[in-house]
Structure 1
Amino acid sequence: MPQDLSSFDNIYTHLTSTYGYPVLPRKSPRPHAPAASHSIAELSLHPTLEAILHILNADLPSAHFLCRHMQNKPAWEGMYIHGLLHRVEGDFENAKAWYGDVAHSDAFKSAWPEGLETAKEFLDDVKAAINDGAKKPCSKDLEDLSRREIDRLSQWCKKQFGVERVADATTVWVEPSEKERAMAAKMIPKVDAESKIGIARLYNQISNDTQSQ
């Protein structure tokens, strides 16, 4: 790893030249360079640029954390990066859904001037390449399209937000949409009456044990 990881461009160049641009999902859940995750966070970049660097470093949990705070209008570029993240994960249906939501945005058009259908064809081709992975390596065409997509999106975000430090990233976060709120609510387990009774009994038992000591 080079000594100078003190700027967006340096880290971007290091990650892409060392590990390439992501096309097929990785088998390992670990980042390419765990130390780079710290360097990326220390830059305090605009969340879109930080998320892109985390994706290039295969630190998908860190990228996902940032994307969750940019998944509603007017943060179209954040929503697009969320779709890119799902593409890198191999979750192509979710990727298509996010791409569809932002297809009208300048950020998406900068990466896919041909339009949404071409982007979806790319996703389908990557999915097919996963199925053929045991038979042949990923084609150079897919690698080139992945490079083009990420390079163009990165350049758009750099031009839009700059690479200066963002003192408080929460100032650029957006409230989740009603759709996202509903989905989150469904994921929260409901505590039924029996569970509440069980918790109360456990609490009473702990209290009794404490008093008897």
Structure 2
Amino acid sequence: MSLPLRDRTEPPEEPLLRALWHGLRGEWAAAHALAQADPGPHGAWVHGWLHRIEGDLANAGYWYHRAGRAPGRGTTAAEGEAIARALGA
């Protein structure tokens, strides 16, 4: 089994996994720029998660809706790792 994404020392190559890596490390601006660049549903999912971290739940809800996902529950760290696994990390 591989390391959790937040424990990896190097960021992944894939942009959305890189966004999650940055987000899990508290590097919100870098993560947001990467997520915002992806127009698809996975990008919207990561984008929603990032706005949840930020505490902007209305904006997060908008992005979760665009992704076709329910807003996350539990900790944002656990959700970030779950998204990373779903995206192939």
Matched ranges for 1:1-213 at <5 A: 9-10=2-3, 12=5, 14=7, 39-40=10-11, 43=12, 45-70=13-38, 72=39, 75-103=40-68, 108=69, 116=70, 119=71, 122=73, 142-143=74-75, 147=78, 149-158=79-88
* Equivalent residue pairs, number: 88
Structure 2: tracts of 5 or more residues without a match: none
Q: Deviations over 1:50-109 (max 9, x none)?
A: 000000000011111111211x2xx21011101111000111100001111111xxxx4x
Partner AA of 2:7 in structure 1: H
The answer as to whether partners of 1:11 and 1:53 remain within 8 angstroms in 2 is no
TM-score (norm 2): 0.80
The answer as to whether partners of 1:87 and 1:95 remain within 8 angstroms in 2 is yes
Structure 1: tracts of 5 or more residues without a match: 1-8, 16-35, 109-115, 123-141, 160-213
The answer as to whether partners of 2:24 and 2:77 remain within 8 angstroms in 1 is no
TM-score (norm 1): 0.37
Q: Following TM superposition, by how much is the alpha carbon of 1:158 offset from its aligned partner in structure 2, in angstroms? A: 1.2
Q: Percent identity?
A: 25
Q: Following TM superposition, by how much is the alpha carbon of 1:12 offset from its aligned partner in structure 2, in angstroms? A: 1.9
The answer as to whether partners of 1:67 and 1:82 remain within 8 angstroms in 2 is yes
List structure 1 segments (4+ residues) > 4 angstroms apart after TM superposition.
Answer: none
RMSD between superposed Cα atoms in Å: 2.5
The DSSP-based 3-state class of the residue aligned with 2:37 is coil
